[in-house]
Amino acid sequence: MKFDLTTIDTLQGLHAYMNTLLTANETIMSFCLRKVTHFWGFKEGNYVYYMVAPPWVRSLVNDVINMSKNMSQGEAAR
């Protein structure tokens, strides 16, 4: 979800609202959506982003960690 920073009263208020929405909205809960912490309250330019993902989508942060683990294990095996 994308919000224009000029249209919100306070960033803290929006953050609190989004955290409540995540646990109280029927649609979000019915699809078991979770917040993507790397892009939760992410600010870029004049916008703030709140990203949710279904449980079957792997986290980008985990992929980077797993990729570096696999690379270091591959070098150790050589």
51's CB contacts (< 8 A; 6+ apart) are 1, 35, 36, 39, 40, 42
d(CA 18, CA 5) in angstroms, rounded, equals: 14
Could you tell me the pTM of the whole model? 0.69
- The per-residue pLDDT for 25 is 94
Q: Give me the mean pLDDT over the 45-52 stretch.
A: 94
> CB neighbours (10 Å) of residue 58?
10
Exposure b/e, 5-35, CB count within 10 A at least 16 = b = eeeeeeeeebeeebeeebeeeeeeeeeebbb
pLDDT of residue 26: 95
Q: Which of 19-28, 41-50, 64-73 has the lowest mean pLDDT?
A: 64-73
Give me the mean pLDDT over the 20-28 stretch.
94
Label residue 68 by pLDDT band (50, 70, 90).
low
Residue 64, pLDDT > 80, answer no
Phi, psi (rounded to 5 degrees) for 73: -70, -35
